[in-house]
Amino acid sequence: LTAAEHAAGRQPEVLTVDNHADGPYVVLRLLREDPDRAAAALELLRANGGNASGVRLACVRSDGDVTPDQFWPTQVLGNVRRRPFSEIWNDESIELLAGLRRRPRPLTGRCARCRWLELCNGNFRARAEAATGETWADDPACYLTDQEVRGER
C-alpha cells in the first residue's frame, strides 16, 4: 500500500496461507475432546490431500513465468510466452512437478516418517526450501511434536 493509497482511505489486502500441520493437529485434538467428530474431520482432510502446490495449484506471473504456487518464485517451471501452459503443466520431464505430484512426495526427515503425511502432503515446500536450501526437507513451520508425528496421542 503506497502513502497515496493510504491517504485515499484504501485498505490493505492481506493474504494468509494455511499451515497443513493444522489438519493433523485438529484431528488429534478432536480425538481427545470430541471423538465423534474426529472421523468426519479426518475424511475431509484426506479428501483435501494437503498442500496442492504443483498439483492443483500454479502461478502464472506477469512476466509469463509459471511457478508451482505464488510463494515460490525461485522455481520457474516454464514461461507461457514461449510455451503453452498446458505443455508446461503436463511436462513429465520437469522433475519438481513430478516430485510434487508423487504420493507420497520424496520427503526427508520427520516429514518422510510422519503418520499424517496423507493429510498435509509434506506441508509447504517453498518454505522448506527457503529455510534449508532443500526442496524435500522438513517444513520448519510444522509444529507437531515428535509424538504427534508418530501418531501418538
> Would you call 49 exposed, middle or buried from its count of C-beta atoms within 10 A (0-12, 13-18, 19+)?
middle
Q: Which of 127, 148, 100 is nearest to 17 (CA)?
A: 127
Read off the pTM.
0.85
- What is the per-residue pLDDT across 55-85, written as a single tens digit (0 to 9) for each? 999 999 999 999 999 999 999 999 999 999 9
Contact 86, 60 (CB under 8 A): no
- What is the per-residue pLDDT across 97-140, written as a single tens digit (0 to 9) for each? 999 999 999 999 999 999 999 999 999 999 999 999 999 999 99
